[in-house]
Structure 1
């Protein structure tokens, strides 16, 4: 019988020579290491990674974005998220953001937008103690006689004019008061402490409804706004990491 590849061939089996066995034993750890490196490389390729930079309002972040992203990010430790919280409009292209979050009605037409939250209302609220000393307004125009807690739109050039709507009639009211903030959450806290009337997203107040520590006024004048959307330039090449974020935020309700 002849030999083939360093082995001695016998009927029905192949065995290695002593030198071949030593070579196999010496190479086995290296081959295992190469196979492990290949497996790690394949896993890394299939696991999204990278940085996404977004501009988001405080309200959108607290009520929609963070509750949806927090559990997802724990499963993707290689996805890095940078968030700039502000209430003003930002030029995401000029300022180097990958995406932004705004109300659907505010997104520019040349942007790709995906709805991430339901429609919501803005409501006028104050503490019961405030209305114990001041007559509750029946019409938005009566707000000019009240202490109102203003919201400054930092990048929109001034204070937010409170928007109301009823039976097809729309109007805006410029209010005044002792306090002005750039966050709806601080407006709520000030209103609950009796500093006046605040005009804030209704879902912020839900936690206070059962406590009976707030009074709602002008409810029939409170308009509904289009829900939050994540948007980005149409020419943007979306990375796997960005797709994970968008899919996690996508609104799946009615």
Structure 2
């Protein structure tokens, strides 16, 4: 079989699909019906393919259509190749329609414990074809750059080019301490008095800034520069240290509810607690959202309205 051109010719691809349809039906009329075009259009396309290849692909008579040797040779190669392309396209569409594969989530520990962990088992039961990888840290990761599908952070930390979905109630920050600590050192009655207390500080990540102790005073936010001799980079450790009487802690109320209910911690300065903000589930803008991401977003929105 001679070729009038060398190399890959993208213009041939639609014509090759028409060729396979005609070869499968051995009828221009039936192929035209299957493709939803006229017999004339099919005949014209086949002639263009034959001209491009420099070979006759079909023997045509008024009564029958059969493959030439060149046509048979081409069909053996092209038909499985086009089937592979169709299969790949179907798989891509399936990935966007049917939730499957791995969903990679980046979250702070507080957000994970409060919003994701309580619902993860049920989510995986509902979508058994999905697997979930959760990375927990306090670093404000570039989720696209490091390959995550979705992140969960407080609203003010979410990048502006992301789509953000609020989850759950606003997270209110409070000062807590153990009963033993208050018996020994007393309770501060206003935020500025915290500078006389031992406070457990928290870094946002290993080399990051300290978590700010902010209070609502005289209709505005006011930061108090507390001091203390213990620093953690994770709020769970902060709560645990406060329960042991190490010092006062500044935490999300929802994160310390259990310890507060059990009497291990007591909240102070609540009238000065700043206006809370919710956590946000965020992800990059996509015209076609993968099914694994869509079902996760919808599920958490329903569970954490």
Q: CA RMSD in A?
A: 2.2
Provide, for residues 148-207 of structure 1, a one-character-per-residue CA deviation record: whole Å limited to 9, x for no partner.
111111177221121111341211122221211111111111101110000011012221
Alignment partner for residue 300 of structure 2, among 239, 249, 254?
A: 249
Distance 1:153 1:46 in 2: 38
Aligned to 2:138: 87
Alignment of 1:149-160 (within 5 A): 149-154=200-205, 157-160=208-211
Length, aligned pairs only: 212
**Counterpart in 2 of 1:182?**
233
Check if 1:194 corresponds to 2:225: no
**What residue number does 1:52 align with?**
103
Post-superposition Cα deviations, 1:37-61, rounded to whole Å, max 9, x if no partner, equal xxxxxx9997520111121000000
SS at match of 1:117: strand
Shift of 1:132: 0.9
SS in 2 for 1:165: strand
The farther-off stretch of 45-54 and 100-109 is 45-54
Identify, as 1 or 2, the structure richer in strand.
1
Residue number in structure 2 paired with 1:6: none
Structure with a larger share of its residues in helix: 2
The runs of 5 or more residues in structure 2 that have no matched partner are 1-93
What is the TM-score normalised by the length of structure 1?
A: 0.76
TM-score with structure 2 setting the length:
0.64
Tell me what 2:195 maps to. 144
Q: 1:175 to 1:236 in 2, by over 3 A?
A: farther
Could you say which structure has the larger radius of gyration? 2
Using CA pairs below 8 Å that are at least 6 residues apart, which structure has the higher relative contact order? 1
1:251 to 1:105, Cα distance in 2 relative to 1, 3 A = farther
- Alignment counterpart, residue 204 of structure 1, candidates 251, 255, 265: 255
Tell me, which stretches of 5 or more residues in structure 1 are unaligned?
1-42
Secondary structure of 1:90's aligned partner: coil
Contact 1:55 1:101 in 2 (8 A): yes
CA distance in 1, matches of 2:96, 2:142: 32
Distance 1:65 1:45, change over 3 A: closer
Conservation of the 8 A alpha-carbon contact between 2:96 and 2:290: no
Give, in whole Å, the separation in 2 of the partners of 1:192 and 1:155: 23
Question: In structure 1, what is the Cα distance between the partners aligned to 2:172 and 2:268?
Answer: 13
The ranges of structure 1 where at least 4 consecutive aligned residues each deviate by more than 4 angstroms after the TM superposition are: 43-47, 251-254
